[in-house]
Amino acid sequence: KMDIINSAVNYFKGSYRELGKVSWPSKQEVVWLTSLVVIIIIIAALILALIDFGLTSLVNYLLGLSVTK
């Protein structure tokens, strides 16, 4: 049982040491990249919404369905 505990402790110690070697981004980089991701997601959502609207309109037209009364 102690082998399992020692293995777990060594694993977490090693993991902690590895975290010290990581090259972390600066706050400015994090803010910039997060903003970029949000903008790209919004653009992608708008494009998909337009495609969805266009295809829905096309199918309704081809089936003779009217959305206006």
Position 68 scores a pLDDT of 61
* Nearest alpha-carbon partner for 37 in 27, 29, 26: 29
Mean pLDDT of 48-61: 94
Position 2 scores a pLDDT of 77
What is the pTM for the complete model shown? 0.64
Alpha helices in the chain (DSSP H): 2-21, 27-62
More confident residue, 10 or 65: 10
Mean pLDDT of 45-51: 98
pLDDT at 63 over 70: yes
pLDDT at 25 over 70: yes
